[in-house]
Structure 1
């Protein structure tokens, strides 16, 4: 018998892929031109982008030289060597307050004059923290007995006293006329210096409160504790709005960036050694730096995006 085969018509389904309105543009390539590609060839085999090439070809910035020796040395006998105390603070009027045992001394950087602001020997107490008010007129003094005293630096007189803590006061922070104090009793107290009235009592730390710092806009308060936690508070809530637990030692060093809103830096103690950066707008950790030793203090430069640590 004879087999019959039916031949199907052939159709090229890929022919449409080669169709073009202008056959002369099939292998034509138009290189993109803009301000960033003026000296960059599209056929270059370099793995670097135009921006990276410009960066490598740009002149190298010279490092700023920082003197390794101090320009001024002040004699401070009986200055307590205690990680948890804050015994030195600069005022906005360029006056340094130093707590030495039972006394607080003021050194005027403009005139080099030294005056004694107060003496707590008659009260059998010692100074554990000092902090200038924003305008530089008043000095808050925290004591070992848990008392916060407000002194007028222009008259050397005590204006008000808040004996509300049950243990030493190691951290102080001003916000306008209100003074915030952190104590070994684990509490943060807000007191109004105009009315001698206690406004708030914040309970969030499980151990001693080591550091207190207000944000530049005075809306957020950061607190560090011996419980290795960094807390962020606002002015309306009684509970912290953010809790950071990445540190593995006491958090005393705290600093808000004056250049970037919501940027917070914190430093850990001997068992931690890290400086950590936080975005408080998103409650996220940004990066960390191992300093090789405990971080006692942090301060941002007001003129450049630089941070100094001790």
Structure 2
């Protein structure tokens, strides 16, 4: 099994790992065996993100044959919701200021989506990359993201505004630059 994704929980007590065997594991610091094992994905699990707003909530995304973002209650071990995104899920990141999740995608959409949790309503669809959007990083202030894709570009997006999310809990979206 090849490890495809790793992410520490916000409290640093748990580590989630995804693999090309389509499994997601949750480990704690005190055990050499996983405390949770999830087998619901139908493709490699590369995209993993712990919610900073809901203790124990983990999101994971599957590859091309799966296309789903799945949500897990790691405190009880229970699967929660899932959403079929229609394309490979490459990366996930939670907003620092709102209960929203950013997902980046590959085959066949090559886009960035923003989801409101727990309704899983799609808040935004960001397009511009012409190849798989593999990489995603949140700015230190949590208001912007940068995405990197197989098209050899970095794109910077103003996605979350602290003031706006506190007032309306809705994302402010503006593409502000692209680098090649």
Asked if these proteins are the same fold (TM beyond 0.5), I'd say yes
Match status 1:227 vs 2:151: yes
Equivalent residues, number:
158
The TM-score, its normalising length taken from structure 1, stands at 0.48
What's the CA shift for 1:202?
Answer: 0.5
What's 1:174 paired with?
94
Could you tell me how far 1:128 is from its partner in structure 2?
2.9
For the pair 1:118 / 2:53, whether they are aligned, the reply is no
Query: What is the CA–CA distance in structure 2 between the aligned matches of 1:104 and 1:233, rounded to whole Å?
Result: 29
* Structure 1: unaligned runs, 5 residues or longer: 1-77, 81-85, 246-310
Distance 1:159 1:201 in 2: 24
8 Å contact kept, 2:103–2:113: yes
Following superposition, the deviation at residue 207 of structure 1 comes to: 0.5
Task: Kindly report which structure 2 residues correspond to 1:145-294, keeping only aligned pairs within 5 A, or say none.
Answer: 145-164=66-85, 166-175=86-95, 176-184=98-106, 185-235=109-159, 236-238=172-174, 240-245=175-180
Which consecutive unaligned segments of at least 5 residues does structure 2 have?
Answer: 160-171
The Cα of 1:125 is off from its aligned counterpart by 3.6
Per-residue CA distance 1:196-229 (angstroms, 9 max, x = gap): 2111111021100011121122111111111111
Larger-Rg structure: 1
Match in the other structure for 1:141: 60
RMSD over aligned CA atoms reads 1.8
Which structure has more strand as a fraction of its residues?
Answer: 2
SS for the counterpart of 1:241 is strand
Distance 1:117 1:214 in 2: 28
User: What secondary structure does 2:82 align onto?
Assistant: strand
* TM-score normalised per structure 2: 0.80
SS in 2 for 1:212: strand
In structure 1, distance between residues paired with 2:49 and 2:173:
24
Distance between the aligned counterparts of 2:8 and 2:110, measured in 1?
26
The aligned residue for residue 127 of structure 1 is 45
Deviation (angstroms), 1:194: 1.6
